[in-house]
Amino acid sequence: MTETEKYSIDNLPDLKNLRAINYANIPDDQRPRVRSIGVLTSGGDAPGMNATIRAVVRAGINNGIRVFGITRGFHGLWKGEFDEITTRQVSETLQRGGTFLMTARSKTFETPEGVVKGAKMCNVFGVEALVVIGGDGSFKAARDLARIGLPVICLPGTIDNDIASTEYTIGYDTAMNTAMEAIDKLRDTASSHERCSVIEVMGRHAGYIALNVGIATGAEVVLIPEHKYDLDRDVIRTILDGRNMGKRHYVVIVAEGAAKATDIAEQIEKATGIESRPTILGHLQRGGSPTLRDRTMASLMGIHAVECISQGLLNRIIVLKQGAIADVDVEEGLQMEKTIPEIDLQRSRLLK
Ligand code: F6P
């Protein structure tokens, strides 16, 4: 009987009181040798997800491991949407945005029933470990599967760069470049009309895109969800000071989790009389061909995932740590916290 077979709809696991095995603590010769894996993408898509799948498929097959693609994230896992992938089938995917496996957000996986059913589907298809490409929410679902005995490997794929265990998430660089190019164009027209352009970038809970794109585009104001802002002091005063210094146009960047561009534009116009226009970049930032950084990170992280699997080093999150690709225990990784230090925001204000 495999670990996962202990559980059923009549014998549901108490997920909170279980802990995934840390295979790093098990001697190499006692670790499982996995011959068949499943791979899925989950949560918001990110440029470079296809490159990650490709790397897992090719490195996996070249290491003698069969790889099954699972469509529609955890939803497809639950429904049994498994199909074996060949190296040829991932040809021409490296440069494509989105995810050819498709993705979904599934609430089912927050329940013990959903977790048990997902693990059972893996048993049906002979999948001995699952590779999950996604963000924190997806990693939690993966960890729950690991808690009931299905080994997992997590690969960070989200434009938000908000996964605590890693310095970098696949898709972040492409999204920032897309936003930067759009904001440069908005600056051209704001400058011609002597306007204020208020641009909302993605980041419901994290301001990494807003902060770095703000630095890269020379924004006057950046608002991020990690730090409270005072409208008069941090926005209106800054713009008025700029005008007094001779500025004739302004760029304000707001992360979607910090404020709404429409509200901020309205408030700026009301308080300063400067014509202000909001733009919401939205899902534009999630599409497009991945940059060199995302293609290489996706490929090298995907290879590292397969190296872990080949060594039976399971239940790991593949991360970038001090600039090098590494891996951490899934339970430990999900305990970590990450935030933007206030000093980083203050530093960006020195450039206005
Ligand atoms: O991919 C991450 C993210 O872009 C967040 O910044 C954003 O809040 C969220 O996804 C929105 O995604 P969706 O519109 O697909 O729910």
Structural domains of the chain, with CATH: 3-171+290-333 (3.40.50.450), 173-286 (3.40.50.460)
The pTM of the whole model exceeds 0.85 = yes
- Return the sign of the alpha-carbon dihedral for residues 52, 326, 170, 79: positive
Residue 143 CB burial class (10 angstroms; 0-12, 13-18, ≥19): buried
pLDDT band per the 50, 70, 90 thresholds, residue 1: low
The verdict on the CB of residue 160 being under 6 Å from ligand 1 is: yes
Under DSSP, is residue 301 helix (H, G, I), strand (E, B) or coil?
helix
The verdict on the CB of residue 170 being under 6 Å from ligand 1 is: no
pLDDT band per the 50, 70, 90 thresholds, residue 248: very high
How far is 312 from 251, CA to CA, in rounded Å? Answer: 50
Task: Give residue-wise pLDDT tens across range 44-82.
Answer: 999 999 999 999 999 999 999 999 999 999 999 999 999
What average pLDDT does range 328-341 have in this prediction?
A: 96
Residue 235 clears pLDDT 90, i.e. is over it: yes
Atom of ligand 1 nearest to the CA of 257: 8
The verdict on the CB of residue 347 being under 6 Å from ligand 1 is: no
The residue whose C-alpha atom lies closest to atom 15 belonging to ligand 1 is 44
What average pLDDT does range 30-50 have in this prediction?
A: 97
Q: Note the pLDDT of residue 314.
A: 98
What average pLDDT does range 212-218 have in this prediction?
A: 97
> Which neighbouring-strand residues pair with 250?
196
Q: Note the pLDDT of residue 233.
A: 96
The verdict on the CB of residue 159 being under 6 Å from ligand 1 is: yes
What average pLDDT does range 192-210 have in this prediction?
A: 98
DSSP strands (E only) in the chain: 36-41, 66-70, 82-84, 129-134, 152-156, 196-201, 221-223, 250-255, 276-280, 316-321, 324-329
Phi-psi region of 292 (alpha: psi -120 to 50; beta: other; left: phi over 0): alpha
Look at 106 and 281; give whichever has higher pLDDT. 281
Q: Note the pLDDT of residue 110.
A: 87
17 C-alpha vs ligand 1 centroid, how far in Å? 30
What average pLDDT does range 297-301 have in this prediction?
A: 98
Q: Note the pLDDT of residue 108.
A: 83
Residue 276 clears pLDDT 70, i.e. is over it: yes
> Which neighbouring-strand residues pair with 196?
250, 276
Q: Report the relative pairing of strands 196-201 and 276-280 from DSSP bridges.
A: parallel
92 C-alpha vs ligand 1 centroid, how far in Å? 26
What average pLDDT does range 97-125 have in this prediction?
A: 94
Crossing angle of helices 292-310 and 49-62, rounded to 10°? 40
How far is 298 from 334, CA to CA, in rounded Å? Answer: 21
What average pLDDT does range 306-322 have in this prediction?
A: 98
What average pLDDT does range 232-252 have in this prediction?
A: 97
Q: Report the relative pairing of strands 82-84 and 129-134 from DSSP bridges.
A: unpaired
DSSP strands (E only) in 228-293: 250-255, 276-280
281 C-alpha vs ligand 1 centroid, how far in Å? 12
CB 308 within 8 A of CB 314: yes
What average pLDDT does range 254-260 have in this prediction?
A: 98
Residue 247 clears pLDDT 70, i.e. is over it: yes
Catalytic positions are: 160
Dig out the tokens for 251 from the structure.
């760029």
Share of the chain above pLDDT 70, in %: 100
| CA 181 to chain centroid | 21
How far is 325 from 320, CA to CA, in rounded Å? Answer: 5
Residue 351 clears pLDDT 90, i.e. is over it: no
How far is 237 from 244, CA to CA, in rounded Å? Answer: 10
Q: Note the pLDDT of residue 78.
A: 93
Task: Give residue-wise pLDDT tens across range 135-185.
Answer: 999 999 999 999 999 999 999 999 999 999 999 999 999 999 999 999 999
